[in-house]
Amino acid sequence: MPKPDMSNPAITIENLGKRYTVDHQRANGDGLRHAIENAMRSPLAWFRSGRKAKLERADFWALKDVSLQIKQGEVVGIIGRNGAGKSTLLKILSRITVPTEGRIRIDGRIASLLEVGTGFHQELTGRENIFLNGAILGMSRAEIIRKFDEIVEFSGIEEFLDTPVKRYSSGMYVRLAFAVAAHLEPEILIVDEVLAVGDAAFQKKCLGKMGSFAQSGRTVLFVSHNMEAVRSLCQRCVWLKDGRLHKDGKSDEILEDYFDSTSNELAFSCENPDYGLFIKKVVLKNSRGEESSQFRPGEDLIVEISYEAQKPLAEPYIVLGVQGINGSCFAANMLLDGHQPEAMSGPGKLACRFKSLPLFPQSYSVKMSVRTNNGNDMIVNYQDVAYFNVVGDLADYGYKGEFVSRASRSTSVVVPYEWSLPDGTIAAVSLARPQIARVDATVGITVQTRSSLSQTVLD
């Protein structure tokens, strides 16, 4: 495929808007009590009305004044909270729905994967639906036949190929749909969060396919709530907020702003009047004492709790835990270490520093609970109180494996470890950026250079 002309746009969006009309039932006079009263007072009028619900119509703008340009060969991530307009934008680009205002210019053939089951017939088999879905996406029969074996192999559902898709699970739907779309070889590929339905292994497979697709010079639009997947795949990021273009720029910068905004919006506070304890806020800080929602492997994480104890609490137990995508990572537990404060009284602060985070670049939450001094009665239930992301290029920490991209879904915690290899090399791996040490056993000289992967070689 010829190298794309990055100066020419693949997609141009100008003042795009999409309006929906939403019906709202009137609040006054529509309850059951009011309906009975109206029927009793004026049965004839109530009957003539046909008992139709009284509805009020209101305009809802799913998108408003969105303008942007996507160049050929760009890989663009689209992020935002639920209801921000991401899926609506992709549906308009895929010609599933039409805009209310504005215009779009598209240069190239588009393949899109937006919803589970789109382009499939329930009564047809997987084999038949490959041909149906491929035809809907614009593939010729000859092209489908030529790529059929590759599509089936990628989907991983060979055993169920002649089974009607109405018996497929959601994950099997996604496998087959993505396999067809990925082998269409369009100039523009559009993928929504539908991949979240698939299992972790298939998600990695799809991300790898999209990565190779992007490297071949095609344009990719990718919507996901997996921020690390967006960061690793996309050089550019578009942030939609309340149906409008909020920010557009380099992925690292946009994602950092998005993380900070999300953390501020989800600020935690709670109160237990029975014990007179009010948790005002929980903030995360880095080793420099700055509030942050982004940390790098090997950095310190400080969890600071601001509280007000209106009644003195003697020797309360506090538990702080860090939770990742695969479950609990580690915890600071006063029930076990015995370092509870003598008392919490009046306004105050309490902090815990987790040193040298041994965590892969992923998304995490901080959980907290507070118990009385008997260790059983709960003052604050164990729950999420803060969120943060670990970011960074694992190559900086000595990771150079062929499948290093899988770290975004891997077990989160990396305890420092060493490989003793057959040639005598001892390779020490950690996320703390140690040094390389090469030891000459004959002369006993150790030479150290700055790196992230420690190796000791015995000659």
For 106-165, the pLDDT digits (tens) are: 988 887 777 655 667 888 898 998 898 888 777 788 988 998 998 888 888 888 989 998
DSSP 196-210: GGS-HHHHHHHHHHH
Position 172 scores a pLDDT of 83
Structure confidence at residue 67 (pLDDT): 94
What is the per-residue pLDDT for 170?
75
Give the integer Cα–Cα distance in Å for 148 and 217: 24
Tell me which residues of the chain have a pLDDT lower than 70: 1-7, 23-56, 115-119, 193-201, 263-265, 405, 433-459
pLDDT for 40: 65
pLDDT at 445: 33
Helix (H, G, I), strand (E, B), or coil: what is residue 122? coil
Gyration radius of the chain over CA positions: 28
Task: Give me the pLDDT at residue 137, please.
Answer: 73
Q: How far is the C-alpha of 146 from the C-alpha of 443, rounded, in Å?
A: 63
| pLDDT for position 48 | 56
The C-alpha atoms of residue 298 and residue 392 are separated, in whole angstroms, by: 10
- The reported pLDDT for the residue numbered 326 is 78
Strand arrangement of the beta sheet that strand 55-71 belongs to: 55-71, 9-25, 101-106
**Token reading at 346:** 């009046």
Q: How far apart are CA 252 and CA 247, in angstroms?
A: 12
- Determine whether 176 is exposed, middle or buried from the number of CB atoms within 10 Å of its CB (0-12, 13-18, 19+): buried
Question: In which element (H, E) is residue 337 found?
Answer: helix 334-337
- What gap in Å lies between CA 253 and CA 234, rounded to an integer? 12
**CA within 13 Å, CB half, 203:** 22
CA quadruple 378, 384, 385, 390: dihedral sign: positive
pLDDT value for 66: 93
Contact 399, 454 (CB under 8 A): no
Structural domains of the chain ordered from first start: 18-59 (no CATH), 69-262 (3.40.50.300), 269-390 (2.70.50.60), 396-457 (no CATH)
What's the mean pLDDT when you consider all of the chain? Answer: 81
